[in-house]
Every structure is written in C-alpha cells, then in structure tokens.
C-alpha cells in the first residue's frame, strides 16, 4: 500500500514534476492576470497584469534551477522540505486534482452559464487550487530563493479573488 510504485519516484522524476508544477503555476497565475479566469475585480487587472509581468521571469529561473546539474545543489533542501519521493507525489496529486477540476469548469465558459451557479462553482474551485499550490510553494520557498516572490504574487491574486467574489456576487 504505502510502497506502491505510484508513490515511488526518483530524484530526476521529482525534479521533472516540480518543473511541470511551476509551468502550470506560471500558466494559472497568468490566466488570472490576463483575466482569463474571471475571478478578480476588473479594476485590479491592469495592476495585477503589470505585477505579474515582473514576476514571470522568476518562473524561468526556478525551472532552470530544477534542471541538472544545478538541481543537485538543491536536492538535499528539497528532500528536507518534503518535495521529493512520496511526499511530493501526494502534494502534487492534491494540486493536480484541484487544478484539473478548475480547468474543466473553465472549459464550460463557452456554454450558457446558469444564473449564478457557474460563478459560485468557479469560486469554490479557485480556493482549493490556490491552497494546494501554496503547500508546494511554501516548502519550495525554503529551498529555492526566487519562489518567495512567486508565492507572494499568488497570495496577492488569492486576495484579489476574495474581493472578486464579492464583486461578482453583487453583479449577478
């Protein structure tokens, strides 16, 4: 049960999965910044877009630092914060589940949105996705310095979602 092959990954696979996670985060936060995930009050979009443009290059730095041979320096720290092996598999499976549900819901966007229900579900899906990402970002920020800036922009977007929830609730 605990030693099944789905829970066992080597360091190279852990690094690959972390690089993929940061690509997904880049896309996810970029979708918020560009308004493709309509969860932020529109008055904040131009500033968020500008702030995210400054943060976006950090994703490339992080992804590059998770490639060999540079990553061999960080592997010990990644192990210490639970971002290798079965712990990483579990954390990413929770994130992937929440993220996939959000992406699936956004795909409905082209269909007729039922009054209020599409928006309610959107906000119910955004929160667990960002929360699951925060677990990985928080640990990664200890091991890799540029991640703190990424984590902070994610937290700012999360606050914007809280404000947007009220904006869209009043709008319907």
Condensed to tens digits (0 to 9), the pLDDT of residues 1-16 reads: 455 566 789 999 999 9
CB 32 within 8 A of CB 115: no
How many other CB atoms sit within 10 Å of the CB of residue 157? 24
CB 170 within 8 A of CB 116: no
Q: For the whole prediction, is pTM greater than 0.75?
A: yes
Q: What is the CA 16 to chain-centroid distance, rounded?
A: 16
Tokens 């979602």 sit at which residue? 161
Exposure string (b/e) for 29-64, b if CB count within 10 Å is 16 or more?
bbbbbeeebebbbeebbeebeebbeebeebbebbbe
Condensed to tens digits (0 to 9), the pLDDT of residues 12-43 reads: 999 999 999 999 999 999 999 999 998 999 99
Condensed to tens digits (0 to 9), the pLDDT of residues 98-130 reads: 999 999 998 875 555 666 788 888 999 999 999
């Amino acid at each position: 049960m605990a030693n099944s092959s789905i829970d066992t990954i080597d360091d190279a696979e852990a690094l690959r999965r972390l690089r993929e996670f940061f690509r997904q985060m880049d896309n996810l936060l970029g979708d918020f910044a560009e308004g493709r995930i309509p969860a932020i009050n529109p008055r904040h979009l131009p500033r968020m877009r500008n702030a995210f443009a400054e943060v976006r290059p950090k994703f490339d730095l992080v992804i590059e630092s998770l490639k060999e041979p540079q990553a061999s320096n960080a592997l010990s720290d990644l192990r210490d914060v639970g971002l290798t092996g079965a712990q990483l598999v579990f954390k990413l499976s929770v994130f992937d589940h929440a993220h996939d549900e959000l992406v699936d819901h956004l795909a409905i966007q082209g269909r007729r949105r039922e009054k209020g229900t599409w928006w309610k579900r959107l906000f119910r899906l955004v929160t667990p996705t960002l929360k699951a990402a925060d677990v990985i970002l928080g640990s990664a920020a200890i091991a890799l310095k540029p991640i703190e800036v990424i984590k902070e922009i994610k937290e700012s977007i999360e606050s914007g979602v809280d404000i947007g929830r009220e904006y869209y609730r009043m709008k319907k």
